[in-house]
Amino acid sequence: MARLRALRGPARRSGLDEAIAATGVEEVFHRPIGELSKGFRQRAGLAAAILHRPDLLVLDEPTEGLDPNQRVEIRRLIGQLGRERTVILSTHILPEVQFTCSRLLIINRGRIVADGPVDDLVSRAKDGGRISVEAAGAGVADRLGALPGVRGVEARPIEGNRIRATVTVAGTEDLRPQVFELAKAAGWTLFELHQEAGSLEDLFRELTTDQEPA
């Protein structure tokens, strides 16, 4: 690849040294790529891509086919590469975006439907506001569902009259104080009450479901 990039002399040697060190392929450098594990093959591909020190690096599904440990390693490597250059990551594996990227673009039917910092966009998802409640008492699910601002309740029994429920909230209001007051008034035993973080999956479904092309 260095020859194909027309790297010669000191530029070739320094480019090789930097790429090998950056991707951690020192121990397999002299082995044929066909003998390498999937994780090391991905690393070798990244090393070849950064040999000529590009300002822009485009990666298409870089963690596809990797086991969980290899995914973590490649994510860490991509994060390191992103400190010195712009990295565009194309993927359908949504957790990879939250773990790896600082800016998100969602494209639906050829149109950009979201563009901005990952955390900011996820926090604006309509279905992103959820409260996890675990309580024992009468009518937990029904009374939670009757609270103003609640869009829905998914509940499952644990034991006896103890219920674990996920409450979906309309808008951005924090309903935990209302849930706590309801638990006191109803005489419930409250075991758990916390706000769940919104997910990228919520945002993706919201922006790409049942949308017609312009």
Planar angle of CA 10, 13, 18, nearest 5 degrees: 120
pLDDT at 213: 46
CA distances from 27 to 43, 49, 76 (A): 12, 19, 19
Domain extent at residue 162: 130-197
C-alpha dist (Å) from residue 101 to 118, 176, 212, 213:
7, 30, 28, 27
Tell me, what's the pLDDT at 185?
94
Q: Which of 81, 101, 121 is the last residue of a domain?
A: 101
Specify the pLDDT at position 214.
43
Residue 28's pLDDT is 92
Q: pTM score, two decimals? A: 0.61
Percent helix, strand and coil across the chain, each rounded to 5? Answer: 40, 25, 35
Dist. CA 198–CA 118, nearest whole Å: 11
In a domain, 94, yes or no: yes
SS3 38: helix
* CATH code of residue 154: 3.30.70.1340
Average pLDDT for runs of 10 along the chain of length 214? 90 91 89 90 89 91 83 86 89 84 90 89 68 92 92 88 88 85 94 81 79 48
**Does residue 4 lie within any of the structural domains?**
no
* pLDDT of 63: 84
Domain identity same for 18 and 94? yes
* Residue 33, number of CB atoms within 10 A of its CB: 11
Q: So what's the pLDDT on residue 62?
A: 86
Q: What is the pLDDT of residue 80?
A: 85
Mark whether 55 and 95 lie in a shared domain. Answer: yes
Position 54 in a domain: yes
